[in-house]
Structure 1
């Protein structure tokens, strides 16, 4: 919940300042609510923002007692002169990938359908070929929060574009950060895709295009920088614990070209 908000805010070059949450539940079980808020607070620590308030609403009769729904929003700040501007983006610029921790918070309707989780919950205990942990554990990996490493890069070099890869995958998210007339050319072989996505594609019989148009495929965020800044950007990201790598380049066209 926190990650989806703060990772979007940094796409504008802004630093998240505060976060507020809203928890709806069928029955207010204090220990359960405390555990949920603990997770939200940890997300705020990772994002460097403050959890300044929230609301808990009990809905007996509307929601089952053991269910809850969590929402939230963040407010960030950026100097007007430092709002990310892709006007200088040009062919030859380098696209850098920041790895994801898994499917993050998108595509779970398809995930449940692929594995028929509602009717076959035991599949979550299965460890598929190529994976080093059970399916359920892999799917529950928290969405990575990229705020601190990305802001560290922005402090030292000019970042021309940032895309948070969420629902819609590569095809819908990367173009949001591109200048008109610029396209992202990415070699599929260069995408470091975890085994989880290969398992989902195989088990669900999903086309490669649909995989890249639904999931992050192992890339949670991309940054676009000038070629002369690429090595320095990757070094800064690695210093902040991100196993960043060159994903592709900007070419003269529109959209995303997966080759």
Structure 2
């Protein structure tokens, strides 16, 4: 039997090794002095000393079918950014700052250029969040993924001192809810977008320019997921609760941080919904409540504050705005849009 039978079955070990060499070189540029050893071992090592009473906070996620948009445009430069920022934002809601990140790239056929582009985005985002990309898995899985399809998954680990943990337990009726804008769709709602614009049958519309959004559709859809760590770090000590507005939108994410007897009334007049969401709604004739359940609608993060801390928060973060208020509720509708 020839020595390339594994390659002919769909797995190219040499191509995978070349991709891993490129990725390892990129990842090393994110290493802090807390990283122990190098990439390539059976386990990734990190020195977590320096904390008094640490709580480990972890999260795993992917970028969903936003990858299909990247594939259609042959532009993978931003989805790695999406992956890191989505994960880092989620642990930030607990008050945790990221220590290290690991990724999983699964492909039907190894493409070192695509893998390198994905990791380049992760590297840029990790550097922005002071997070070390210390390892991962790059897998070639013919038969599981088709040659033009892949999956991208990230895992982040962070720490927070127990006394600084943000868990929403102290939230009460009358507290103020402040919003911080998103940069676009972030990483949610892309299956609906693909259906509305019929992208799986004809992706050419991604290159169509729309005056109302000031770009072509593809550029708007690939806008990277925003990172909030450096913006919010100076005011974490006064935050009572924080919700990252991801899948489920403003209807399903805020209740995750509220005590059972509380809800939120959002004032829709307090912000202008970005045109990309209006375009999607108009094109697909989507009902308003469905839009708020699927998309972030221009709000990437909400923060709950004591009334007495609102002015300080807004002085530190001038772009933030009062978006609603915490109220008592006695029915199943915990979120009200008015």
**Mean CA deviation greater in 84-93 or 10-19:** 84-93
| Residue of 248, 259, 266 corresponding to 1:168 | 248
* Deviations 1:177-213, CA, capped at 9 Å, x for gaps: 1123222111112233100001111111111000001
Q: 1:129 Cα shift?
A: 4.7
Does 2:140 match 1:50? no
Does 2:234 match 1:158? no
**Secondary structure, in 3 states, of the residue corresponding to 2:154?**
strand
Q: 1:162 Cα shift?
A: 0.3
Tell me the equivalent position of 2:77.
none
Are the aligned partners of 2:209 and 2:217 in contact in 1 as well (CA < 8 Å)? yes
Q: How does 1:172-251 map to 2 (within 5 A)?
A: 172-238=252-318, 243-251=319-327
TM-score (norm 1): 0.92
Are the aligned partners of 1:128 and 1:199 in contact in 2 as well (CA < 8 Å)? no
**Mean CA deviation greater in 207-216 or 46-55:** 46-55
| Residue of 116, 124, 144 corresponding to 1:34 | 116
Does 2:337 match 1:258? yes
* Deviations 1:111-137, CA, capped at 9 Å, x for gaps: 101111112312112233521111110
Are the aligned partners of 1:48 and 1:148 in contact in 2 as well (CA < 8 Å)? no
Q: Whose radius of gyration is greater, 1 or 2? A: 2
TM-score (norm 2): 0.72
Tell me the equivalent position of 1:18.
100
| Residue of 55, 74, 91 corresponding to 1:9 | 91
Partners of 1:100 and 1:141 lie apart in 2 by 10
Are the aligned partners of 1:159 and 1:225 in contact in 2 as well (CA < 8 Å)? yes
**Secondary structure, in 3 states, of the residue corresponding to 2:297?**
coil
Tell me the equivalent position of 1:97.
179
The unaligned stretches of length 5 or more in structure 1 are none
| Residue of 143, 153, 166 corresponding to 1:84 | 166
**Secondary structure, in 3 states, of the residue corresponding to 1:170?**
helix
Aligned residues: 253
Does 2:197 match 1:115? yes
**Secondary structure, in 3 states, of the residue corresponding to 2:185?**
coil
Tell me the equivalent position of 1:68.
150
Identify the structure with bigger relative contact order (alpha carbons < 8 Å, sequence gap 6+).
1
Q: 1:4 Cα shift?
A: 2.0
Alignment root-mean-square deviation, CA:
1.5
Are the aligned partners of 1:20 and 1:72 in contact in 2 as well (CA < 8 Å)? yes
The unaligned stretches of length 5 or more in structure 2 are 1-82
* Deviations 1:231-250, CA, capped at 9 Å, x for gaps: 21122234xxxx22111111
* Deviations 1:131-168, CA, capped at 9 Å, x for gaps: 111111000001111112222211xx421110000111
Partners of 2:334 and 2:130 lie apart in 1 by 33
| Residue of 120, 145, 149 corresponding to 2:231 | 149
Are the aligned partners of 2:171 and 2:259 in contact in 1 as well (CA < 8 Å)? yes
**Secondary structure, in 3 states, of the residue corresponding to 2:93?**
helix
Partners of 1:118 and 1:87 lie apart in 2 by 44
